[in-house]
Every structure is written in C-alpha cells, then in structure tokens.
Amino acid sequence: MSRIDGRTPDALRNVTIDRGWSKHAEGSVLVAFGDTKVLCTASVTEGVPRWRKGSGEGWVTAEYAMLPRATNTRGDRESVRGRIGGRTHEISRLIGRSLRAVVDYKALGENTVVLDCDVLQADGGTRTAAITGAYVALADAIAWAQRKKLVKPGRTPLTGSVAAVSVGIVGGVPLLDLCYEEDVRAETDMNVVCTGDGRFVEVQGTAEAEPFARAELNALLDLAVAGCTALADAQRAALA
C-alpha cells in the first residue's frame, strides 16, 4: 500500500535544513519537511528574566506562529485578534520544553536564547519541523555566544541534540511524518520528541477518532524513534 505522495509507511518526507538564512539572527534555519517550511531564528541576549537573576543560570524559550496564508485557507492574524490562540500557546510551550531538555543552564550562564519558529508554509508536522530546525539554530547561536565569549569556555551548554517527528494511524496503518492530508484522516496522531541518543523528551499521543490500544502505541513509538534517528543524522550533517 502506497501513501498519497508515494512514500512507504516508514519514510520521512524530503528534509532540508538551510543554515544562515537571516543576516541579523545569531542562529537561523529554514527547515523543510516536504512542503512544510518553517523559519527558525535564535536570538541571544545577555541577561535572564527577573525571576532567574543572580542564579548563574541561563534560559531558553520559544515562540511559534503561522503566517496568515501559510495554510490552505487564510487565518486571522493573532495580533489583529488581540490574543494568542490555545494551539499557538500549546506548541510554543512544547518547543520551549523540548529545546530546554538538551540545555545545561549552568554552562549557558546568565544568557537568554529566544527561538522564533514562524511557519511560512504548512503541510502537516509544523511543530515537529520547528523543533528539528530550532535545534540547529540554537546550536549556531550557542557557537556564536562561545566565539563572543558570552559563554565561558569548557563545558558546552548543549548536552545533546533533539529532533521531533509526527506519527499516526491512517486507515489502520501506522505512518511516519504525516502530511496535512494524512493528518486530517488519522485515527490516532502522535508527536514524539527524542534526543540524539534515542531517549524520549516528549510523547504526545491523541485519539482523534477511536481510542487506541497498547500495541498501536508501541508500533507508533517504533516508527517515531527511527524517524528521529534519521532527523538527528540530518541535523548533524547540516551542522558539519
């Protein structure tokens, strides 16, 4: 059985990671998972939020957003509506937690990195592409901070790499890296964030149509771990 775009169930879409996309940001990546394109920038500032001052520890946070016509139908701008929607909040928090899982705050020192992930074009998997791209932007930003001596030499502030992928059950078949059309038809949908050594940072599975069984959960986790391993390779290649 072949998929909408001809892939096998366990195949990622074509993944590209373009570094140095922006002339201003300390790290910037245009990441593509097929037709999903996300611009990830990492902005470094000296100092930390007030509640963390004097701790000797840094901070990493993320903001996710979509351009209004990133999707098939134009969506209202959240700035015009005057409030951020629940989905945006949820994804921004997920990206932040995922990246923080590989940061050593002590080694970062009292510096803040903000990761902005703006979806320029959406075709499913925007949050997983964002995490995967943001890691590379973060790595570049931290390297910049090391060159600028904002970060003390010695211990590196990154304890590993992190990548993410979506998996789901469509028509009873577990699939890796869903495009939008597959996502809409999925009975179960899961986003998995893994470190480069194959451990889990986040597992978020949702029954969209039917509750799912332990065996299905296991099959999805197998697919996701393999996908994240391939993405970790792509990140390593991009940073080489």
Q: Which residues bind a second copy (CB under 8 A)?
A: 22-25, 28, 35, 39, 41, 43, 45, 63, 65, 67-72, 74, 77-80, 82-90, 92-93, 97, 101, 114, 116, 118, 120-123, 160, 190, 194-195, 197, 199-207, 210-214, 217, 221, 225
Q: Is 112 annotated as belonging to a binding site?
A: no
Residue (190 or 238) nearer to a second copy, CB: 190
**Distance in angstroms (rounded) separating the CA atoms of residues 100 and 75:** 30
Minimum CB distance to a second copy, residue 153 (Å): 26
Annotated ligand binding at 125? The verdict is yes
User: What contacts 184, CB < 8 A, 6 or more positions away?
Assistant: none
Close Cβ partners of 52 (under 8 Å, ≥ 6 residues apart): 59, 110
d(CA 183, CA 127): 13
Sign of CA dihedral 169, 125, 200, 84: negative
Q: Count other C-beta atoms under 10 Å from residue 97's C-beta.
A: 16
Q: How far is CA 31 from CA 64, 107, 137, 207, 238, in A?
A: 14, 27, 10, 28, 11
Residue nearer to a second copy on the CB measure, 53 or 89: 89
Comparing CB distances to a second copy, the nearer of 1 and 14 is 14
Longest CA–CA span in the chain (Å) reads: 58
Q: How far is the CB of 55 from a second copy (least distance, A)?
A: 17
Shortest Å, Cβ 177 to a second copy: 18
Determine if residue 81 is labeled as part of a ligand binding site. Answer: no
93 has binding-site annotation: no
**DSSP structural state of residue 50:** G
| Closest separation in Å from C-beta 56 to a second copy | 18
In this structure, is the dihedral angle defined by the CA atoms of residues 169, 120, 30 and 61, taken in order, positive or negative? negative
Cβ 145 to a second copy, closest distance in Å?
A: 15
* CB of 14 or CB of 79, closer to a second copy: 79
Q: Which is closer to a second copy, CB of 1 or CB of 48?
A: 48
Distance between CA atoms of 214 and 100, rounded to whole angstroms? Answer: 29
Residues annotated in a binding site for phosphate? 87, 125-127
Residues making up the annotated binding site are 87, 125-127
